[in-house]
Structure 1
C-alpha cells in the first residue's frame, strides 16, 4: 500500500467528484436524525428578534435572548462538553453514559474535543502547495470500543439521515442514500464485522477489558455513520494533517517542534509491534497512553500511532497549488487512512504519511476520530 509525503488532492471551495458532482437523490427507507447532533436551531444573531429567556445554538455556541429581545452569545462550549444542543452544552451521545475514564490517568472524558485554530500550511514537496482550513474541533482521543458500543446499542436506528455528517463548508459532503447498501443490515451484522483479522481485533461482544482501546475493524462507511450519529463528522485529509503538523509549524511528527523532530520511540507513540511477527492484541494500548509526551500542538493524543484513522477524502494522486476547506469526494474509489498504527513502521508516523484503502474494507489497524464544529 502507498505511503506518500503529500496528502490527497483537494480543490478550492467545493466537493470534487471526478467526472462531475453527484447529486444526493432519493429516500427509499426511513432515516433517523440523531437527537443532540449539535447546531440546535442554528442562526447567527444579527437583527433577528426573540422572546426574552429563549435559548438556542448558533454555530455550536449557546445564545440567550435578552430583555430587549435580542440574541446574545454565551461562552463557547468547553472541551468537556463540546456540543451545543437546544441552547446548552452537552457531551456527544457516545459518552452520555460514560464516566471520565480516558487519558493517561483515567480521569478525562473520552469525548473531549479540542479546538484546532484554523490557518494555512504547506503540503508541498518540490513546490508550495498551500492548504487553508477553518477553525474546528477535533476529538482528543480516537473513538474507543466503549464509545462505539453506544452506537451499536442503537443500531440500526443510528443510521445517518441523508445529508448528515456534512462538512459545513463543503457542498454535498454529507451522507448519501446510495451508501446505505454499504452499512451492515442489523446489529448482529455490525458486531460480526468488528471481528476482523482474528486475533487482532479490539472489539468484544460484551463489556470487558477492551473498553478503552481504540475501536477498529470499521469500514469508512461505518466510521462516517458513527461520527454523524455522534454529532460530528469525519475530518478532511487537510484538517487531519494540519492538526498533526501543528499547522504552520509544519511538524515532522505530531510531537515535534519547529526547532526539533525527535525520532519516534515507544515513549511517543504506539507502533511497530508487527515488524518482527510477534504482534498481539495486548500491544494495542488505551487512547492517550503516550500523552502528553506524544501529543500534538493542540493537545490531541495518538495523532501518530495506535490506530490509523479514516478521513472524509477519497484517494487522489496529487495536491493542487491551493486549497481552501475542501476535499476529494469520488464515488467508488479508495479512501484514505492517516496517522500510522500499532502494527506499522516508524515512517508511518510522519505527519505526511497516509495509505489508501477500499472504503468497504475492515482492518484491525484502522479506526476513527471525529471532527466537530467550533
Structure 2
C-alpha cells in the first residue's frame, strides 16, 4: 500500500541558501568537497531517521520486493562481525580487505547465514542498493534526498561547522555519533556503545531534529557522483569510519558506490517535495 502524502516521521525544512562544501584542512579535495559555494534550495521534507529494518520489512511484506543482494546471492560484511567459519576463505577486495563477500548476507541476515534482526527492528536497514532505496521510496511516495538537501539537513542550521553539532568530535567527552574507536580495523573499543549499527534514534538530534546524520550508516543520495560516472553519492559516514583512514563523518564529506552495490554499513533516508 502506497503511503503517498504521508509525512509522519519527517521534518519540514524551509527553503533558503546555505554554504555547501568545505575547504577544511581535514577534508579531501580529491572527493570534490570544495570549494565552498552558496546553494539555494526550495523547502522540502526529510526523514528524521534513517529507514529502519521495521520500516523496510513493511515495504517488502507489502510488495514482495527482492533486493539486489538477494538476487546476487551475497553481500559484503565487515570481517570483524563474522564468525571464523564465515571469514575463512571469504573473498575480500584488495583495496579493503576488512570486507568479506558473504553468501546469503542480505538485509534480513546482516551477517549472513545464522544472523537475523532480533533486537534490531529499530536499527537502520543495510545491504540495500541504490536501486533498492529508490524502489522503497517509490512505494512510500517519497524520493531520495539530493546531495545538497542532505548536506543542508545534516548541518542543522549551523554554518560551516565540521559536524552536525559543531567543530568538536566529542564535546566535553560525549560521543555524538556511532563511529570506530580504537585502531582500525583490528581493535574497536566501542566507547560510543556500539560495535555495529545503532538504533536510528541513537544520540542527540541536530538543530533540525534529525538523527544520525554522522556515522551509523552511509546514506544514499539521488545524485550521480559526477556527470560522466554511473556511481551514486553516499553521505554521512558509518560505524566503521575512523580518522586514520576514513574521516568522512564530517558533514561536507562525500563518497560513492555503484547503484547495485550492497554492503553492511549502507542505508538511506527519504525526502519529499514540500507543497
Q: Normalization by structure 2: what TM-score?
A: 0.71
Residue 349 of structure 1 is matched in structure 2 by 249
Instruction: Provide closer, same or farther for how the CA distance between residues 213 and 276 of structure 1 changes in structure 2, counting only shifts above 3 A.
Output: same
Q: What are the Cα deviations for residues 60-112 of structure 1, in whole angstroms up to 9, with x where unaligned?
A: xxxxxxxxxxxxxxxxxxxxx62xxxxxxxx4xxxxxxxxxxxxxxxxxxxx1
Match 2:219 to one of 309, 326, 340:
309
Q: Which residue of 2 aligns with 1:129?
A: 37
Shift of 1:37: 1.6
Match of 2:200 in 1: 287
1:29-40 equivalences under 5 Å are: 35-38=2-5
Q: Against the structure 1 CA distance between its residues 120 and 149, is the aligned structure 2 distance closer, same or farther, given a 3 Å change threshold?
A: same
Q: 1:203 corresponds to which residue?
A: 107
Counterpart in 1 of 2:95? none
DSSP 3-state at the match of 2:12 = strand
1:55-94 alignment, distance < 5 Å: 82=7, 91=8
Aligned to 2:85: none
For the 8 Å contact 2:233–2:256, the answer to whether it is kept is: yes
> Which structure: greater strand fraction?
2
Distance 1:271 1:290 in 2: 12
CA spacing shift, 1:192–1:297, aligned 2, 3 Å = farther
Partner SS, residue 239 of structure 1? helix
After TM superposition, give the deviation of residue 334 of structure 1 in Å.
0.9
Does the 8 Å CA contact 1:244/1:303 hold for their aligned counterparts? yes
On the 8 A contact 1:151/1:226 being kept in 2, the answer is yes
CA RMSD of aligned residues (A): 2.9
1:189 is matched with: 70
Offset at 1:207? 5.5
Specify the SS of the correspondent of 1:151: helix
Which of residues 206, 212, 219 is equivalent to 2:129? 219
1:147 Cα shift? 0.9
Per-residue CA distance 1:145-173 (angstroms, 9 max, x = gap): 111111111334x69xxxxxxxxxxxxxx
Change (3 A) 1:190 1:207: farther
Distance in 1 separating the partners of 2:49 and 2:213: 9
Q: Describe how 1:330-349 pairs up with structure 2 within 5 A.
A: 333-346=230-243, 347-349=247-249
Deviations 1:288-328 (A, max 9, x none): 2112xxx2220100000100100000002xxxxxxxxxxx6
Structure 2 unaligned segments of length 5 or more: list them.
24-33, 83-104, 110-115
What are structure 1's unaligned runs of at least 5 residues?
A: 1-33, 39-80, 83-90, 92-111, 160-182, 317-327
SS in 1 for 2:260: coil
Change (3 A) 1:298 1:255: same
Deviation, structure 1 residue 115: 1.4
How many aligned positions are there? Answer: 223
Which residue, out of 27, 37, 58, partners 1:150? 58
Q: TM-score, normalised by structure 1?
A: 0.53
Judge conservation of contact 1:152–1:190 (CA < 8 Å) in 2. no
Task: Describe the shift of the 1:240–1:150 C-alpha distance in structure 2 as closer, same or farther (beyond 3 A).
Answer: same
Which residue in 1 is equivalent to 2:169?
263
Match in the other structure for 1:371: 271
Return the offset for 1:231.
1.9
* Greater C-alpha radius of gyration: 1
How much has 1:236 moved relative to structure 2? 0.2
Q: Which runs of 4+ in 1 moved over 6 A?
A: none
In structure 2, what is the equivalent of residue 164 of structure 1? none
Partner secondary structure for residue 333 of structure 1: strand
SS of alignment partner, residue 77 of structure 2: coil
CA distance in 2, matches of 1:214, 1:35: 21
Deviations 1:110-130 (Å, cap 9, x if unpaired)?
xx1111221111225476522
